[in-house]
Amino acid sequence: MSDEAAPSAPSDRPDRGIAATSWLAAGFIRLLRASCRLEYRNDGEIRRREAAGERFLLAFWHRHLLLMPYGYRGEKISVLISSSRDGELIARTVSRLGIDSSRGSTTRGGAAGLRELLRKAKQGFDIAFTPDGPKGPRGKVQPGALLAASATGFPIVPVGLAASRAKLLRSWDRFVVPLPFSRVVFVYGEPLEVVRGAPLEPYGEELERRLDACEAEAERIVRSQ
């Protein structure tokens, strides 16, 4: 018998920890949604596209991620999520809510994530982006969503939300956590068509404007009633 210690089996505790945390996070989101009153404004076009099976790209600021699964009513959608450990937690959480994920980002594994997302689009998925994720700058559109829209021909449907009562986290994006029993309003903007081969910068500026306008209108609505 050798005096050398046998190598220990790799621990699965980190993986189990993420699994347990994602289960709790998904449960929290379901309970939060059940307690809140959700309203939808200017949603006729996206509801028509969902019902008709017309594919699109849903875009929203990273700060609105928490309840955004309830802003989509189509058959299936895949969202681009960072390949980081934090991204793994988010991916597992949204999976429990019925949302598929493609892994990658503008800062890590972006090309691979975009290729996977385009494959999902060919398989009949709608696709979703947080154009300023995963680490900002806040409110600034990165090229990934525009490249995906150009490659697929999918129109970009911008959406923002606001809550009558919410906690803003001290994160880079000031992440919005609606409080229980609050009123949450989703506002959708006019779809943006990205012409293949055209310069992306003007589209990025326009998408920023439409996303900010959706958020501002949602804020106006929750404050006016």
**Distance of alpha carbon 17 from alpha carbon 179, whole angstroms:** 26
Asked if residue 219 belongs to a domain, the reply is: yes
Which tens digits make up the pLDDT trace of 13-46? 558 889 999 999 999 999 999 999 999 999 999 9
Give domain status of residue 212, yes or no.
yes
**The domain containing residue 52 runs over which residues?**
38-224
Residue 151 lies in a domain: yes
Report how far residue 43's alpha carbon sits from residue 189's, in angstroms, rounded to the nearest whole number: 8
What confidence tens digit (pLDDT) does each residue in 89-100 have? 999 999 999 999
Residue 11 has pLDDT above 80, yes or no: no
Among 1-5, 58-62, 145-149, the range scoring the smallest mean pLDDT is 1-5
Q: How many domains does the chain have?
A: 1
pLDDT band for position 114 (50/70/90)?
A: confident
Q: How do strand 156-163 and strand 183-188 relate by DSSP bridges?
A: antiparallel
Query: Does a structural domain hold residue 25?
Result: no
- 58 located within any domain: yes
Instruction: Read off the amino acid at residue 128.
Output: A
Band the pLDDT of 85: cuts 50, 70, 90.
Answer: confident
Whether 8 is covered by a domain: the verdict is no
- Give a yes or no: residue 17 inside a domain: no
Least confidently predicted of 24-28, 111-115, 198-202: 111-115
Would residue 29 count as lying in a domain? no
Positive or negative, the CA dihedral 111, 92, 55, 135 is negative
Enumerate the H helices of 36-185 as residue ranges: 44-52, 85-96, 110-122, 143-152
Look up the pTM and report it: 0.89
